[in-house]
């Protein structure tokens, strides 16, 4: 990753002027974050590769409609990545493929992933697994599965009000876990 | 229900988790623009997912970048497609009684004339009395109407609907009284083009509820709309005459939360 740090305005300006350096900066700095989210949603490497490319094409084509008043550039792009992956997950062709094969055991079946990638992926699992199981299910279903709170309530057979309260609690818990996660990494680095 | 309830209704969670209809998210974005409390709640949640993505990043296979670069066109600068919406700030003024002095003069003359006429032709006084009595009833009707309106204004909550991003200077006011009745007073909105009408919406649990049309042909400025329980916000959109079952989000002019 390059050490140059651009502000949102600088990056958006570069992207609008179709500057290749701007794109390189965007890709180098953000593609790992998007890929992590996409991979968790679609679970297959080939699909994840396609969705990641789609995501960047969409960002490239719709950067003109980014509105800073509605949130950060990072969130805006992350939503594109996440929604593209959810769309792929819910598409008919993908659902058909799913029926014909078993879901890969996340990383270990993806032989083309490097050791480093596998390590990264396992870190993700560890992090999410530190959440209480009630909460983990909610985050997984809602954010990584694209289910509404109503759908989750129906599937799990719990009242909608409970899902709402738990979702809120899950988000706060996730926030705390993320804070602690940093310490864990730091701890290992310092050791 | 107030903004605290709106925040705890689960709409914000649905929004940041990405499982919300286009319509509902447009409403939330409008509420966000007008309410710092909602905005900070949204930003706080979004930050969690930013952090989650950063900390759970996976480096994509290196060949993807080269493939991607081939798909993108670097030759033409992107055009900012922002729609330009002309702001018609020439508001329709309610005709006020600016000619009051003239009217007074005319009235005085008329009364003098009338007195003279009465003195002259006593026989016609009954007709005059009848006329006066009639206008008297009309006036008292008006007065009681005004009294009613005044009572309503005293007993109701006033909600200012401010112009959304695209229409910064627009303004309307909604009065929501204790019996759940809603009154609309358009303060500063451009005259609706022919075939179009302003429609009022209440936002209840994040969903728009039709509150009826504003009739610009009526002479009264404050118009009674439908009743609603537990609204969290009100908004006005420009719709075809007679209204639409759901609001056209791009045509939203003003919005205000309770």
Mind listing the pLDDT tens digit for each residue in A90-145?
Answer: 887 777 776 665 555 444 445 455 666 666 666 656 766 777 888 888 888 999 89
User: For B192-216, what is each residue's pLDDT tens digit?
Assistant: 888 899 999 998 887 889 999 998 8
**Model pLDDT, residue A121:** 63
Assign B125 to helix, strand or coil: helix
Chain A residue whose CA is closest to B17: A143
Q: What is the pTM of this model?
A: 0.61
Q: What is the mean pLDDT of chain A?
A: 81
Assign B17 to helix, strand or coil: coil
Would you call A36 and B76 a contact, using CB atoms and an 8 Å cutoff? no
**Model pLDDT, residue A122:** 66
User: For B120-171, what is each residue's pLDDT tens digit?
Assistant: 677 677 777 888 888 888 888 888 777 777 777 777 888 888 888 788 888 8
Decide which of B91 and B190 is more confident: B190
- Neighbour order of strands in the sheet with B196-204: B207-214, B196-204, B233-240, B252-257, B156-163, B171-177, B181-188, B222-227
DSSP B189: -
**Model pLDDT, residue A105:** 47
User: For B27-79, what is each residue's pLDDT tens digit?
Assistant: 888 888 888 888 998 999 999 999 888 888 888 999 999 999 888 878 777 66
Give me the sign of the Cα torsion angle A130, A131, A134, A138: negative
Strands B233-240, B222-227: pairing kind = unpaired
Would you call B53 and A37 a contact, using CB atoms and an 8 Å cutoff? yes
Radius of gyration of chain B (CA): 28
B143 Cβ partners below 8 Å, 6+ apart? none
At B159, list the tokens: 């909600």
Rounded CA-CA distance A54/A58 in Å is 6
- Residue A56: is its pLDDT beyond 50? yes
**Model pLDDT, residue A160:** 92
| Closest-CA distance of chain A to residue B177, Å | 30
C-alpha pair distances (Å), A184 with each of A56, A127, A170: 32, 10, 20
DSSP B37-94: HHHHHHHHHHHHHHHHHHHT--PPPTHHHHHHHHH---SSPPP-------------PP
Chain B residue whose CA is closest to A48: B60
Q: Is B32 an interface residue toward A (CB < 8 Å)?
A: yes
């Amino acid at each position: 990753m390059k050490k140059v740090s651009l502000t949102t305005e600088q990056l958006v300006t570069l992207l609008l002027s179709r500057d290749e350096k701007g794109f390189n900066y965007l890709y180098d700095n953000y593609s790992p974050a998007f890929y992590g989210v996409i991979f968790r949603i679609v679970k297959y490497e080939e699909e994840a590769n396609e969705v990641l490319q789609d995501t960047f094409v969409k960002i490239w084509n719709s950067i003109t409609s980014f509105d800073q008043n509605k949130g950060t550039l990072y969130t805006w792009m992350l939503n594109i990545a996440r929604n593209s992956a959810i769309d792929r997950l819910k598409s008919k062709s993908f659902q058909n493929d799913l029926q014909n094969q078993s879901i890969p055991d996340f990383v270990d079946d993806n032989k083309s992933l490097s050791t480093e990638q596998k390590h990264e992926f396992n870190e993700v699992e560890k992090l999410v697994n530190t959440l209480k199981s009630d909460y983990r299910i909610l985050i997984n279903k809602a954010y990584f599965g694209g289910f509404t709170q109503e759908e989750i309530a129906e599937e799990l057979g719990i009242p909608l009000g409970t899902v709402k309260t738990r979702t809120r609690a899950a988000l706060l818990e996730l926030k705390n876990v993320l804070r602690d996660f940093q310490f864990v990494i730091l701890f290992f680095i310092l050791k | 229900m107030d903004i605290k309830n709106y925040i705890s209704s689960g709409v914000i969670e649905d929004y940041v988790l990405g499982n919300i209809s286009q319509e509902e998210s447009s409403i939330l974005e409008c509420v966000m623009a007008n309410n710092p409390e909602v905005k900070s709640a949204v930003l706080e949640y979004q930050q969690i997912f930013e952090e989650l993505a950063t900390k759970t990043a996976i480096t994509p296979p290196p060949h993807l970048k080269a493939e991607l670069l081939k798909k993108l066109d670097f030759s033409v600068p992107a055009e900012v497609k922002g729609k330009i919406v002309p702001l018609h700030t020439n508001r329709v003024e309610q005709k006020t009684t600016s000619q009051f002095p003239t009217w007074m003069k005319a009235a005085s003359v008329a009364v003098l004339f009338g007195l003279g006429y009465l003195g002259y032709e006593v026989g016609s006084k009954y007709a005059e009395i009848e006329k006066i009595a009639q206008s008297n009833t009309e006036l008292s009707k008006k007065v009681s109407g005004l009294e009613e309106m005044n009572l309503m204004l005293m007993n109701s909550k006033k909600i200012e609907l401010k112009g959304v991003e695209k229409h910064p200077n627009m303004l309307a006011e909604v009065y929501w009284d204790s019996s759940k009745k809603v009154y609309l007073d358009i303060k500063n909105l451009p005259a609706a083009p022919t075939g179009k009408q302003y429609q009022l919406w209440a936002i209840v649990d994040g969903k728009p509820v039709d509150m009826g049309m504003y009739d610009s042909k009526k002479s009264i400025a404050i118009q009674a709309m439908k009743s609603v329980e537990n609204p969290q916000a009100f908004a006005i959109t420009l719709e075809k005459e007679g209204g639409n079952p759901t609001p056209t989000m791009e045509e939203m002019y003003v919005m205000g939360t309770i």
